[in-house]
Structure 1
Amino acid sequence: MARFRSMIHQDSSSDQYIDLEQADFSEESQQLEKVLRPSRECVQAALSHIRPNTLTKLVDTYFKHSEHTSRLCLHLYRGVHRARLLYTPLHNLLDDLPLGFDLDSYSLSDSQCNWALNVFLQFDNLDNPFLSSDSHNFDDMRRCLSQLRQQLDHRLKKSHSRVHLLRRTIPKCPAFFPSNMSKKERAHLAQLNAAAKGACVLHHHLNTIDCLVAQLYTAIEDDKFRIRFGLARDQDRHAIQEVLKQLRRNRSNFEQKLMGLEEDLFFCFADINRARSLLLKEIHLHQIHHPQTLLAR
């Protein structure tokens, strides 16, 4: 986990608030190369030694989905960083106010009013770091993963049946079955299991991340609405104080959601790499023990 934090943070630690949609794609690809394990090159090298067939296509599809999900996680992690930059001036202003600040016992000074209006204007001029969930195509990604899981489950049932049939038949008629046939079927089963578990993990993380992104997007839009209310009343001290009270009241919950998204993104990175490594290990084991065989159609 610490490795992910250090590698990603190095490339996301700029103090400039940039437009994420216009960020250099090659820079994002370089970031992905640092955190995605095994790399795309390692996966392609392993699959290049196997003739394309139904099973290898499913495995290749899983690797592509996992890479795409990792890219999305990087995209959103940069959004977390930008959200913190967006809120830093606002939180600095809130930190400068008395801890027990409320409308009845405290009145903003002229300088604090001007400071608040400047911060409000800056906040309003910057885009929401989190696009709506529709723009991330979460539904499309989940739909593709669901289809992949169904296909993998179908192949798993067929593979289980073959292994079970071989176990029953080989003791009775060993001469009709090569000695490595059952081993190859078990290898196929292990690969299918690894891909199916990986797809299930991806689906779970996408659901969690989608929910958190939607909540953060809405929270920021709500804050923008409150801030525009304050800007519309310009020097209305009472209105500005009311906006600040609402922002302070919501601050803790917002920061918790931001931390929750950040943590789940790191867990998603780790789980993706763990599943990719396990699947590639199973492929390598099959190639080592059966270098002259091909995966069955």
Structure 2
Amino acid sequence: MQCFGGRKSPAAAAVSGGEANGDGRRRTRDAGSPASGMASTTTSSAAASPVASTISLNREYALAVDTNSYNEIWSKIHHYHTSDEEPSTSPNAHLDLAIDRVLQPDRQSIQEVLRTARPTQLTRLVSDYLDSSEDTSHLFLSLRRSVQRAHTLYAPITQLLDLIPSPPPSRRMSSTQCDWAYDKFQEFLSLDNPFRDTTGSSFDSMRTCFAQLKQQLDHHLHKTRRRHRFLRRATHGSAACLIASVACAAIAGLVIATHALGALVAMPVLSTCLPTRDLMRGRRRRLRDLMMRVDAAARGTYVLDNHLDTIECLVERLHATVESDKELVRLGLERGRGHHRPIEEVLRQLRKNHPSLLLQLRDLDEHVCLCFAAVNRARRLLLQHIHHHAS
């Protein structure tokens, strides 16, 4: 598993996964969206050729988050959490409600399409894929709530940094400021790490599920391609048979010009090749459609599996960052309220680390929305193919 530091990790996953295009259209982002403040540019070679143009990862990432599908998901998720700030007595009910709002097509539409489709192996694979994507979306939504709780956890620290200016080295904080900082540090320590419960078996179970599903899809795709190659060779053989039959009929007509019966005898051979060739063409066309559907599911599973790796890396970093800040604050409070020097040193270190924390939270928040956009696109594509196949 590879983790990219700082700003690069979501951008690299968005470019490599190919899931960032959305519906291809762009519009102006909301003012509250974090993608509006991107700055630094990282370039990488677009091809092995020395004259190949370079691409900006930040530009590609900006295009990813500047699509209608991404903006719609961003608005739904953040509006939902803003209107439901109080903790619910049944968290699962809240998660189910949010999933119904964010995931498209919804569960009812999927069940209707699958109910009318023929119970083939492909249908079962797609059904498993859609169920797995729904479970993964529950995990993504839980992470979004963890980001919200992290902002609540760091609210006392943010107040300190905003209201107490950074003093010069020769100037000390006042006793009132140190006492206030001491109280805010205690408030910070009273809340748990919001990313503690999201690390562990959740990612492992999801990754195992997608790995098994992708293996099944790849096997099914390999079998379909073999059948398609066989029919293509058979079609070429029938074409050769057709050419030979036409030639035989022409020769027979020329040699036995006085007897029309010879040409008539050769024509049934020609008529037997034509329907077979048309039938094979139809089967090849259906197999191509089948290959497209299976390949879409396999690629979607691969993209989401990569998303899980990146998000797990971001969550682990955030968990470690919060634990490090908590340990730092504990050390500053060990000697009690009256010792100002440790409190000043802790506040100075938190002021230095806080921008990096906010950047990590923004990365995770945006990447969760990108994952939802990828899930919705895969679900929509698969349902369209299944519906077309059923009709």
State whether residues 17 and 85 of structure 1, in contact with CA within 8 Å, keep that contact through their aligned partners in structure 2: no
Task: Quote the residue 2:383 is aligned against.
Answer: 280
In structure 1, list runs of 5 or more residues that go unmatched.
289-297
CA drift at 1:29: 0.6
Which of 133, 153, 159 in structure 2 is aligned with 1:66?
Answer: 133
Relative contact order (alpha carbons < 8 A, sep ≥ 6): 1 or 2 greater?
Answer: 1
Mapped to 2, the partners of 1:232 and 1:124 lie a distance apart of 13
Secondary structure of 2:192's match?
Answer: coil
> Runs of at least 4 residues of structure 1 off by over 6 A?
none
Determine whether 1:6 maps to 2:107.
no
Task: Quote the residue 2:189 is aligned against.
Answer: 124
Secondary structure of 1:26's match?
Answer: helix
Amino acid at match of 1:83: A
Task: Quote the residue 1:246 is aligned against.
Answer: 349
Mapped to 2, the partners of 1:112 and 1:122 lie a distance apart of 15
Change (3 A) 1:170 1:155: same
Change (3 A) 1:11 1:130: same
CA drift at 1:186: 2.1
State whether residues 146 and 195 of structure 2, in contact with CA within 8 Å, keep that contact through their aligned partners in structure 1: yes
| Matching of residues 83-232 of structure 1 within 5 Å | 83-99=150-166, 101=167, 104-131=169-196, 134-135=199-200, 137-171=202-236, 172=238, 174-175=275-276, 177=279, 180-232=282-334
Which of 364, 370, 375 in structure 2 is aligned with 1:261?
Answer: 364
Deviations 1:183-231 (A, max 9, x none): 3322221210111111011111101100000000110011111111122
Amino acid at match of 2:283: M
Deviations 1:123-162 (A, max 9, x none): 1111111125543521221122111111111111111111
State whether residues 218 and 298 of structure 2, in contact with CA within 8 Å, keep that contact through their aligned partners in structure 1: yes
Amino acid at match of 1:243: V
Taking structure 2 as the reference length, what is the TM-score of the superposition? 0.68
Task: Quote the residue 2:47 is aligned against.
Answer: none
Taking structure 1 as the reference length, what is the TM-score of the superposition? 0.89
Which of 103, 106, 126 in structure 2 is aligned with 1:36?
Answer: 103
Secondary structure of 1:170's match?
Answer: helix
State whether residues 132 and 217 of structure 1, in contact with CA within 8 Å, keep that contact through their aligned partners in structure 2: no
Change (3 A) 1:53 1:282: closer
Mapped to 2, the partners of 1:275 and 1:15 lie a distance apart of 29
Task: Quote the residue 1:293 is aligned against.
Answer: none
Mapped to 2, the partners of 1:280 and 1:219 lie a distance apart of 41
Mapped to 1, the partners of 2:368 and 2:353 lie a distance apart of 23
State whether residues 132 and 214 of structure 1, in contact with CA within 8 Å, keep that contact through their aligned partners in structure 2: no
Mapped to 1, the partners of 2:198 and 2:388 lie a distance apart of 40
Change (3 A) 1:18 1:105: farther
In structure 2, list runs of 5 or more residues that go unmatched.
1-69, 239-272
CA drift at 1:14: 5.5
Mapped to 2, the partners of 1:231 and 1:23 lie a distance apart of 36
CA drift at 1:54: 2.5
Segment drifting more, 262-271 vs 50-59: 50-59
CA drift at 1:67: 1.1
State whether residues 139 and 202 of structure 2, in contact with CA within 8 Å, keep that contact through their aligned partners in structure 1: no
* Count of residue correspondences: 284
Amino acid at match of 1:282: H
Change (3 A) 1:76 1:134: closer
Mapped to 2, the partners of 1:14 and 1:114 lie a distance apart of 34
Amino acid at match of 2:310: T
Mapped to 1, the partners of 2:315 and 2:199 lie a distance apart of 11
Mapped to 1, the partners of 2:353 and 2:175 lie a distance apart of 25
Query: Greater CA radius of gyration, 1 or 2?
Result: 2
Secondary structure of 1:186's match?
Answer: helix
Mapped to 2, the partners of 1:261 and 1:140 lie a distance apart of 20
State whether residues 184 and 286 of structure 1, in contact with CA within 8 Å, keep that contact through their aligned partners in structure 2: no
State whether residues 37 and 273 of structure 1, in contact with CA within 8 Å, keep that contact through their aligned partners in structure 2: yes
Mapped to 2, the partners of 1:269 and 1:154 lie a distance apart of 27
Change (3 A) 1:141 1:105: same
Amino acid at match of 2:380: S
